[in-house]
Chain A
Protein backbone atom coordinates (compact mmCIF):
# COMPACT_ATOMS: atom_id res chain seq x y z
CA UNK A 1 0.00 0.00 0.00
CA UNK A 2 1.85 3.07 -1.25
CA UNK A 3 1.95 6.05 1.02
CA UNK A 4 1.22 9.65 0.11
CA UNK A 5 3.10 10.37 -3.11
CA UNK A 6 4.37 13.81 -3.96
CA UNK A 7 6.19 15.09 -7.00
CA UNK A 8 8.42 16.67 -7.84
CA UNK A 9 10.58 16.16 -4.78
CA UNK A 10 12.70 19.17 -5.64
CA UNK A 11 11.77 22.09 -7.84
CA UNK A 12 13.76 25.20 -8.75
CA UNK A 13 11.95 28.18 -10.20
CA UNK A 14 13.00 31.69 -11.12
CA UNK A 15 11.10 34.60 -9.66
CA UNK A 16 7.90 35.18 -11.59
CA UNK A 17 7.52 31.61 -12.82
CA UNK A 18 4.82 29.18 -11.82
CA UNK A 19 5.26 26.16 -9.57
CA UNK A 20 2.97 23.13 -9.65
CA UNK A 21 3.17 20.53 -6.93
CA UNK A 22 1.31 17.24 -7.14
CA UNK A 23 0.02 14.91 -4.49
CA UNK A 24 -1.59 11.49 -4.73
CA UNK A 25 -3.17 10.45 -1.42
CA UNK A 26 -2.93 7.03 0.12
CA UNK A 27 -5.25 4.44 -1.33
CA UNK A 28 -8.68 4.77 0.19
CA UNK A 29 -8.10 8.32 1.41
CA UNK A 30 -10.35 11.05 0.10
CA UNK A 31 -9.14 13.94 2.29
CA UNK A 32 -6.04 15.88 1.29
CA UNK A 33 -4.19 18.58 3.18
CA UNK A 34 -1.34 20.85 2.15
CA UNK A 35 1.15 22.21 4.66
CA UNK A 36 4.13 24.51 4.24
CA UNK A 37 7.31 24.34 6.27
CA UNK A 38 9.59 27.34 6.17
CA UNK A 39 13.21 27.00 7.34
CA UNK A 40 13.38 26.76 11.12
CA UNK A 41 9.59 26.93 11.34
CA UNK A 42 6.93 24.40 12.15
CA UNK A 43 4.48 23.02 9.62
CA UNK A 44 1.69 25.47 8.79
CA UNK A 45 -1.68 24.38 7.48
CA UNK A 46 -2.59 25.81 4.10
CA UNK A 47 -5.63 24.08 2.64
CA UNK A 48 -7.89 21.06 3.10
CA UNK A 49 -9.65 19.46 0.16
CA UNK A 50 -11.95 16.59 -0.58
CA UNK A 51 -12.62 15.37 -4.08
CA UNK A 52 -13.59 18.40 -6.21
CA UNK A 53 -14.16 20.57 -3.14
CA UNK A 54 -12.08 23.00 -1.11
CA UNK A 55 -13.22 22.58 2.47
CA UNK A 56 -10.90 24.98 4.28
CA UNK A 57 -8.37 27.32 2.68
CA UNK A 58 -7.91 29.56 5.69
CA UNK A 59 -4.14 29.00 5.76
CA UNK A 60 -3.50 29.74 2.13
CA UNK A 61 -2.34 33.18 0.96
CA UNK A 62 -5.14 34.98 -0.86
CA UNK A 63 -3.06 35.78 -3.91
CA UNK A 64 -0.97 33.61 -6.22
CA UNK A 65 -1.80 30.34 -4.44
CA UNK A 66 -4.50 27.91 -5.49
CA UNK A 67 -5.26 24.25 -4.91
CA UNK A 68 -7.48 21.66 -6.47
CA UNK A 69 -8.34 18.00 -6.04
CA UNK A 70 -10.13 16.88 -9.19
CA UNK A 71 -12.38 13.87 -9.48
CA UNK A 72 -9.63 12.05 -11.37
CA UNK A 73 -5.95 12.55 -10.73
CA UNK A 74 -3.78 14.04 -8.03
CA UNK A 75 -4.28 17.12 -5.93
CA UNK A 76 -2.33 20.10 -7.24
CA UNK A 77 -0.96 23.08 -5.36
CA UNK A 78 -0.24 25.89 -7.76
CA UNK A 79 1.87 28.94 -6.99
CA UNK A 80 1.87 31.67 -9.60
CA UNK A 81 4.55 34.35 -10.00
CA UNK A 82 6.75 32.81 -7.34
CA UNK A 83 8.86 35.02 -5.08
CA UNK A 84 11.88 34.17 -2.93
CA UNK A 85 9.70 33.95 0.16
CA UNK A 86 7.84 31.01 -1.37
CA UNK A 87 10.96 28.85 -0.98
CA UNK A 88 9.92 26.15 1.46
CA UNK A 89 9.04 22.51 1.81
CA UNK A 90 5.45 21.79 0.85
CA UNK A 91 3.99 18.69 2.45
CA UNK A 92 0.86 16.94 1.39
CA UNK A 93 -1.06 14.72 3.79
CA UNK A 94 -4.11 12.55 3.51
CA UNK A 95 -6.63 10.81 5.71
CA UNK A 96 -9.58 8.51 5.32
CA UNK A 97 -11.87 10.96 7.10
CA UNK A 98 -11.66 13.64 9.75
CA UNK A 99 -13.19 12.05 12.82
CA UNK A 100 -10.39 10.34 14.72
CA UNK A 101 -8.52 9.42 11.57
CA UNK A 102 -4.75 9.58 11.44
CA UNK A 103 -3.25 12.01 8.96
CA UNK A 104 -0.31 10.62 6.97
CA UNK A 105 2.29 12.79 5.28
CA UNK A 106 4.13 12.56 1.99
CA UNK A 107 7.86 13.15 1.66
CA UNK A 108 7.42 16.75 0.64
CA UNK A 109 8.27 18.93 -2.33
CA UNK A 110 11.17 21.33 -1.81
CA UNK A 111 10.65 24.53 -3.76
CA UNK A 112 13.61 26.86 -4.27
CA UNK A 113 13.02 30.22 -5.90
CA UNK A 114 16.13 31.82 -7.36
Chain B
Protein backbone atom coordinates (compact mmCIF):
# COMPACT_ATOMS: atom_id res chain seq x y z
CA UNK B 1 0.00 0.00 0.00
CA UNK B 2 1.33 3.43 -0.93
CA UNK B 3 2.10 5.56 2.11
CA UNK B 4 3.78 8.74 3.26
CA UNK B 5 5.05 8.99 6.83
CA UNK B 6 6.06 12.22 8.48
CA UNK B 7 8.01 12.70 11.68
CA UNK B 8 7.84 14.03 14.22
CA UNK B 9 4.07 14.43 14.48
CA UNK B 10 4.52 17.55 16.58
CA UNK B 11 7.39 19.77 17.58
CA UNK B 12 7.75 22.72 19.94
CA UNK B 13 10.72 25.04 19.55
CA UNK B 14 11.71 28.59 20.48
CA UNK B 15 12.19 31.47 18.12
CA UNK B 16 15.58 31.35 16.49
CA UNK B 17 15.88 27.57 16.60
CA UNK B 18 16.49 25.50 13.48
CA UNK B 19 14.14 22.60 12.79
CA UNK B 20 14.23 19.61 10.46
CA UNK B 21 11.03 17.89 9.43
CA UNK B 22 11.14 14.42 7.93
CA UNK B 23 9.10 12.69 5.28
CA UNK B 24 9.57 9.10 4.10
CA UNK B 25 7.53 7.42 1.42
CA UNK B 26 6.72 4.13 -0.21
CA UNK B 27 4.88 4.50 -3.50
CA UNK B 28 4.73 2.38 -6.60
CA UNK B 29 5.29 5.10 -9.18
CA UNK B 30 6.98 8.18 -7.77
CA UNK B 31 6.80 11.39 -9.78
CA UNK B 32 7.40 14.20 -7.33
CA UNK B 33 7.29 15.15 -3.67
CA UNK B 34 5.62 18.32 -2.45
CA UNK B 35 5.70 20.26 0.80
CA UNK B 36 2.81 22.42 1.96
CA UNK B 37 2.25 24.68 4.96
CA UNK B 38 -1.24 24.62 6.48
CA UNK B 39 -2.45 27.23 8.95
CA UNK B 40 -6.07 26.22 9.58
CA UNK B 41 -6.99 26.96 5.99
CA UNK B 42 -5.67 26.21 2.54
CA UNK B 43 -2.45 24.23 2.33
CA UNK B 44 0.05 26.69 0.88
CA UNK B 45 2.56 25.33 -1.61
CA UNK B 46 6.19 25.46 -0.51
CA UNK B 47 8.30 23.18 -2.70
CA UNK B 48 8.08 20.52 -5.35
CA UNK B 49 11.02 18.11 -5.61
CA UNK B 50 11.62 15.69 -8.43
CA UNK B 51 15.37 15.09 -8.48
CA UNK B 52 17.63 13.68 -5.79
CA UNK B 53 20.26 15.82 -4.14
CA UNK B 54 19.14 19.18 -5.47
CA UNK B 55 18.27 21.55 -2.66
CA UNK B 56 15.37 23.90 -3.13
CA UNK B 57 15.53 27.08 -1.10
CA UNK B 58 13.13 29.89 -0.30
CA UNK B 59 14.25 32.34 2.34
CA UNK B 60 14.71 30.47 5.60
CA UNK B 61 13.15 27.30 4.24
CA UNK B 62 14.94 24.63 2.27
CA UNK B 63 14.21 21.09 1.22
CA UNK B 64 15.99 18.18 -0.37
CA UNK B 65 14.98 14.80 -1.72
CA UNK B 66 16.75 11.44 -1.56
CA UNK B 67 15.13 9.08 -4.06
CA UNK B 68 17.44 6.23 -3.17
CA UNK B 69 16.54 6.25 0.51
CA UNK B 70 12.97 7.43 -0.22
CA UNK B 71 12.81 10.46 2.01
CA UNK B 72 12.83 14.21 2.07
CA UNK B 73 13.60 16.80 4.72
CA UNK B 74 12.32 20.31 5.19
CA UNK B 75 14.60 22.67 7.09
CA UNK B 76 13.57 25.93 8.67
CA UNK B 77 16.32 28.13 10.07
CA UNK B 78 15.92 31.01 12.53
CA UNK B 79 12.33 30.05 13.20
CA UNK B 80 9.71 32.72 13.89
CA UNK B 81 6.30 32.49 15.55
CA UNK B 82 4.76 32.90 12.09
CA UNK B 83 6.26 29.56 11.12
CA UNK B 84 3.83 27.84 13.49
CA UNK B 85 1.68 25.60 11.31
CA UNK B 86 1.17 22.04 10.17
CA UNK B 87 3.66 21.08 7.49
CA UNK B 88 2.36 18.54 5.02
CA UNK B 89 4.39 16.26 2.81
CA UNK B 90 2.72 14.71 -0.23
CA UNK B 91 3.84 12.43 -3.01
CA UNK B 92 2.52 12.65 -6.55
CA UNK B 93 2.46 9.16 -7.96
CA UNK B 94 1.28 7.75 -11.23
CA UNK B 95 -0.02 9.77 -14.10
CA UNK B 96 -3.24 10.98 -12.59
CA UNK B 97 -1.83 13.75 -10.46
CA UNK B 98 -3.46 12.82 -7.20
CA UNK B 99 -1.38 13.27 -4.07
CA UNK B 100 -0.78 10.92 -1.17
CA UNK B 101 -0.39 12.98 1.99
CA UNK B 102 1.33 12.28 5.26
CA UNK B 103 -0.44 13.22 8.47
CA UNK B 104 1.67 16.32 8.87
CA UNK B 105 4.06 17.73 11.44
CA UNK B 106 2.57 20.32 13.76
CA UNK B 107 5.23 22.92 14.48
CA UNK B 108 4.79 25.38 17.34
CA UNK B 109 7.31 28.19 17.66
CA UNK B 110 7.32 29.88 21.07
CA UNK B 111 8.46 33.49 21.48
Contact = CB atoms under 8 A, between A and B. Distances in A.
Interface residues of B, number: 25
Chain B interface secondary structure, helix, strand, loop or mixed?
Answer: strand
Contacts of B48: 100, 102
Interface string B82-107: 00000010101001111111111000
A48 B88 contact: no
Contact of B98 (A3, A56, A91): A56
Interface of B: 4, 31-32, 34, 36, 41-45, 48, 50, 88, 90, 92, 95-104
Interface string A84-114: 0000000100010111111111111000000
Given A43-B90, A48-B96, A100-B32, A4 B101 contact: no
Nearest to A4: B42
Contacts of A91: 42-43
A103 B97 contact: yes
Interface residues of A, number: 28
A64 B21 CA distance: 38
A54 to B, nearest CB: 11
Closest 6 A/B residue pairs (Cβ): A98-B97, A42-B103, A42-B101, A43-B101, A45-B98, A107-B42
